[in-house]
Structure 1
Amino acid sequence: MFADRYELIDRLGRGGMGEVWSARDRALHREVALKLLDPDGIAQADLPRRFEREAVAAAQIVHPNVAALYDRGIRDDVLFLVMEKVDGQTLTARLQAESPFPVTRAVAIASGICAALEAAHRAQVIHYDIKPHNVIVTGDGLVKVIDFGIAGFVQAAFTVARSTQLTPAGTPEFGAPEQFLTERGDERSDLYALGGTLFAMLAGRPPFTGHNSLAVVRRKLDEEAPPLDAFRPGLPLELTALVAELLERNPDRRPRSAQQVQQRLQALLASCAAADAPTAAMPPTQRTRLMDDTRRAPRPPSPDSWNRASTDETPFTADALLPRRFTNDMDIEFARIAEDTRPSREAGPSDLIGELARRDCTEVVAGVYAEQPGPHATPENPVYVSVQVFAFPDVEMAQGAHKYLGDGGGVWRLTMWSARDGGGLAPCPDKVYRSYRWRYSWRVHRYLAVALAYRADLTNDGSIGPWLAAAARRAARSTGPQNHDG
């Protein structure tokens, strides 16, 4: 019996903070996990403080994807935490049994971890040690994040203290590079570790490996993370792009928040569900036809079939770069309803405009496409796609712009266009930027096309993700100099 209340049953494990036991709470008649500070570590002055910090941090978070904290205290100079006992397997054990995971399962687990991080970050708590061993998946598939053993508040008053038991802060294979330089970080450090965990689920190994922990850290500090598709070709481009952004060495190039990452994971889940579902014809949707011409145009040619020798002969005009119509992979037709050539200063906020100017891009061809009625049309309301095409002096400039726009969610900040009443283009209202939308970028030689798809009712409903994804992907891939006949 411990603290006259907790009956110790089995020791579940031992780690940097001490021991974890399966126990029974005699007062409330429930199974719990009891964490005890290692008695051998009490002589280290910072360990009790770290133990106390874990309790304070964990108590701030109430969420189904986080193991709950029930009690804390000190008994006979032993510090203890009483936590929810989660029945299931660690993600490490699951990966050892089956690896790599199917895409849908990996993304679903990552979404559960991300939901836990959303809740923690709202409470201004950083986990600092997201990894497969600290994730438990229950028998019914619920994801639980455990062990805030080195968590710290965002406020400067709380820092990750050094310890001979845990140096550096975090786990080398999954911790963010900045944790091994300064032992400080922020929410983006957790997002990096989430990216590493998702990488491990999809590739069957972490992004960085080495003969010892120091070698892993050295590689992490000196090298960019390897591309996920080098280990598992054929994954959705949106997924490999998200993992690459999460694993950026520079925190400023990672997604800004767990909420932003969660939106993208949910869209990927919706896309996976649509791909797995049997195809069924949907009844025609009643709506106003946007164009009189009902003849379906042929699918645009693949960019790979375009003769790149004609690049410099392509006029920088909407008719040369934007198809009048395209059909996406869900057999939904889109028609161009507005277009214009605009100065690049209208393409986005000032920092993005500066990058375009630095790469000698002074104009942008922009257009708006509207979904046409048909048997497979988007439920309830049509999808619109805002497309912008940038031309650069050479391939290297275009590649640099593509990477810059992809880093840190820059594409999301580009201007989204709508059709102006009476003709021409107009920037979308602010509420469009708060709605659920999808982006896709595509480079052909020195041309870069970016498409942002959104639904007419500006809904935040992630269930339309597959329709938005299909529209944005085909719009971007159909755009470029391959449309020019000259």
Structure 2
Amino acid sequence: MQARDRIGDRYELTYPVGRGGMGQVWAGYDERLDRPVAVKFLRQMEVPEDGREAAVKRFRREARVTARLDHPGVPAVHDLGQHGDDLYLVMQLIPGMVLADLIAEEEELAVARSASIAAQVCDVLAAAHAASLVHRDLKPQNLMITPVGTVKVLDFGVAALLDPAEASRLTATGHTLGTPAYIAPEQAEGGPVGPGTDLYALGCILFEMLTGRPPYDAETALNMLHQHRRGPIPIVTEHRRDVPDDLAHLLFCLLAKDPAERPASAAEVGQLLAPFADGKGARNTAVTAAREHPAVASTQQTAETPRQLHARAIELAEEERFVQAADVLAAALAAHQSPPLDDATRVRLRFELATLRMLGGDSRDAQHDFEVLAREVEGRDSDLADECRRRARACQSGGQPMSLEP
């Protein structure tokens, strides 16, 4: 796969955002609906032949499972298809930061922030468990924190259906699905999984957010599984003294070896976490502009010059793909750091960017851009300032500009 490839005669790839043992995830655009998307590929030829059939079933299951969970904390599924030998799943593109990276950057997160993130995960788990689904692979790498602090739960690829009539393990005999650092004892032993399995993993994640490390440490996966099954439950206050006693007790219960000794439901855990979350704790102030605007990050993956990016943005606008055009033009502006643009050119590009955002339906950002530009050019280009104010008012009333020109 490479940038600018077209998938399903509809989706244009822009840059890779992740890679696993069996495939890749790319950011891209839906050309028909002019919106950013994530395209997840299963590269069948990279899967051992004896496990290929199970991998395909698991991939298709992920599409079905994620699609049926109509919840703001789960990415929306748009499409499922095949490209050559590869299967692909098209989902909502989530800007933000993977929780694992956030922990790596900050080590210990604030108590309120940790509780807020965990409470939002509980809300998603409550919806999944109500739909008879267990995630089975919760971990910081599968949790995305958006720029406004919303938590998205990713990768339901190994989710288990609780209904025995429908359930399929989709795994070879003797293989345990899940990630060793966050796996519940019953899952490590190959036993039946349930809602408590996800709550145990959540406890591991909450422990790591508060301390910067998972609850257990081992040199091998086998030893890690043994720690989960037989190791003593760690006490979080021994690693961090400012954790409130009630929160420490809740975390101890989440990490109970016996599922029956854990809290009864994700909804109950969410209620118990609420007093420790301030509602703003999940906000990721460390998210950079490149993370908030994925297309800006895509310039790091392309050899296109700023001039070429600008020309491409104009071509996209002529095709009425305004959202993608705005992102490409934003990338062109960001790339124009060396040599710097002259002021007149920068003003023109910023006016075009605000107009493209307006045409793409992003009225709030467009209005802000026009108002800022109007103040900056006031006194030296009164005509442009007036036009910026006029278009800012049009953003409020739902009007549309006639062209990219002032």
Normalising TM by the smaller chain, what interval? 0.5 to 0.7
Does 2:168 align with 1:159? yes
- TM-superposed CA distance for 1:79, in Å, is 1.7
User: C-alpha deviations, 1:379-433, integer Å up to 9, x for none?
Assistant: xxxxxxxxxxxxxxxxxxxxxxxxxxxxxxxxxxxxxxxxxxxxxxxxxxxxxxx
- Residues 226 and 70 (structure 1), Cα distance of their counterparts in 2 relative to 1, 3 Å cut: same
Q: Counterpart of 1:29 in structure 2: which amino acid?
A: D
- Residues 130-149 of structure 1 mapped to structure 2, 5 A cutoff: 130-149=138-157
Q: Name the SS of the counterpart of 1:73 in structure 2.
A: strand
Q: Which residue of 1 aligns with 2:224?
A: 216
5+ long unaligned stretches in structure 2? 1-5, 282-406
Structure 1 counterpart SS, 2:170: coil
| Residue range with higher mean Cα deviation, 218-227 or 133-142 | 218-227
Report what 2:25 is aligned to. 20
Where 1:264 maps in the other structure, the secondary structure is: helix
C-alpha distance in structure 2 between counterparts of 1:184 and 1:33, whole Å:
33
Letter in 2 for 1:34: V
Secondary structure, counterpart of 1:210 in structure 2: coil
Note if 1:108 corresponds to 2:113: no
User: Could you tell me the percent identity over the aligned residues?
Assistant: 38
Matched to 2:240, the amino acid is R
Larger strand proportion of the pair = 1
1:198 aligns with 2:203: no
Please give the secondary structure, in 2, of the residue aligned with 1:242.
helix
**How far did residue 213 of structure 1 move?**
1.5
Judging changes above 3 Å, is the alpha-carbon distance between structure 1 residues 224 and 17 closer, same or farther for their aligned structure 2 residues?
farther
Measure how far apart 1:21 and its partner are: 1.0
Q: Secondary structure at the match of 1:46?
A: helix
2:82 corresponding residue in structure 1: 74
Cα distance in 2 between the residues matched to 1:183 and 1:80: 31
Q: Secondary structure at the match of 1:182?
A: coil
Q: In 2, Cα distance between the equivalents of 1:193 and 1:150?
A: 14
Larger relative contact order, structure 1 or 2 (CA cutoff 8 Å, min sep 6): 2
| 2:92 aligned with 1:84 | yes
1:239 is matched with which residue?
247
**Residue 277 of structure 2: aligned partner:** 269
Task: Summarize the Cα distance change of 1:86–1:272 in structure 2 as closer, same or farther, 3 Å threshold.
Answer: closer
Spell out the pairing of 1:391-430 with structure 2 (5 A cutoff). none
Structure with greater Cα Rg: 1
What CA RMSD, in Å, does the superposition of the two structures yield over aligned residues?
2.1
Deviates more, 1:154-163 or 1:256-265: 154-163
- Equivalent residue, structure 2, for 1:303: none
SS at match of 1:71: strand
- Say whether 1:170 aligns with 2:175: no
Letter in 2 for 1:97: E
SS in 2 for 1:120: helix
- What runs of 5+ residues in structure 1 fail to find an aligned partner? 274-486
Distance in 2 (alpha carbons) for counterparts of 1:70 and 1:239: 38
- The secondary structure found in structure 2 opposite 1:45 is helix
1:17 CA drift (Å)? 4.6
How many aligned positions are there? 272
Q: Which residue of 2 aligns with 1:375?
A: none
Give how far 1:57 is off. Answer: 0.8
Secondary structure class of the residue paired with 2:70 = coil
Per the alignment, residue 336 of structure 1 pairs with: none
Quickly say closer, same or farther: Cα 1:71–1:222, change in 2 above 3 A: same
Is 2:181 the partner of 1:181? no
1:117-166 CA distances to partner (integer Å, 9 max, x unpaired)?
112112222111111111111111111111112112111222332259x9
Residue aligning to 1:4: 9
Q: Which amino acid aligns with 1:195?
A: G
- Structure 1 184/74 Cα, relative in aligned 2: closer, same or farther at 3 Å? farther
Structure 1 60/253 Cα, relative in aligned 2: closer, same or farther at 3 Å? same
Q: What is aligned with 1:256?
A: 264
Question: For the residues of structure 1 that align with 2:77 and 2:175, how far apart are their CA atoms?
Answer: 25
CA deviation profile, 1:232-254 (whole Å, cap 9, x unmatched): 12321110011011111111111
Alignment partner, residue 93 of structure 1: 101
**Partners of 1:67 and 1:83 within 8 A in 2:** yes
Q: Shift of residue 181 of structure 1?
A: 1.2
Give distance in 2, aligned partners of 1:160 and 1:190: 16
Q: 1:42 to 1:2 in 2, by over 3 A?
A: farther
Match of 1:33 among 38, 42, 45: 38
With over 3 angstroms needed to count, the CA separation of the structure-2 counterparts of 1:37 and 1:226, relative to structure 1, is: same
For 1:110 and 1:259, locate their aligned partners in 2 and report how far apart those are by CA, in whole Å: 11
Residue matched to 2:398: none
Determine helix, strand or coil for the equivalent of 2:179: coil
TM-score by length of 2: 0.64
> What is the DSSP-based 3-state SS (H/G/I as helix, E as strand, rest coil) of the residue aligned with 2:180?
coil
User: Map of 1:275-424 to 2, 5 A cutoff?
Assistant: none
Offset of 1:168 from its aligned partner? 2.3
SS in 1 for 2:181: coil
CA shift in 2, pair 1:150/1:233, >3 Å: same
Change (3 A) 1:109 1:260: same
Q: Distance in 2 between matches of 1:209 and 1:160?
A: 28
Following superposition, the deviation at residue 224 of structure 1 comes to 2.8
Residue identity opposite 2:19 in structure 1: R
Distance 1:24 1:62 in 2: 22
Offset, 1:75: 3.5
Letter in 2 for 1:267: P
How far is the alpha carbon of 1:108 from its aligned partner? 0.6
How many Å separate the matches in 1 of 2:109 and 2:151? Answer: 15
Q: For residue 33 of structure 1, what is the amino acid of its counterpart? A: A
Instruction: Give the SS at the match of 1:261.
Output: helix
Instruction: Return the letter of the residue paired with 1:76.
Output: G
Give the secondary structure class of the aligned counterpart of 1:158. Answer: coil
**TM-score (structure 1 length as normaliser):** 0.54
CA gap of 1:63–1:227, structure 2 versus 1, over 3 A, is same
Amino acid at match of 2:245: L
Counterpart contact for 2:28–2:36, Cα < 8 Å: yes
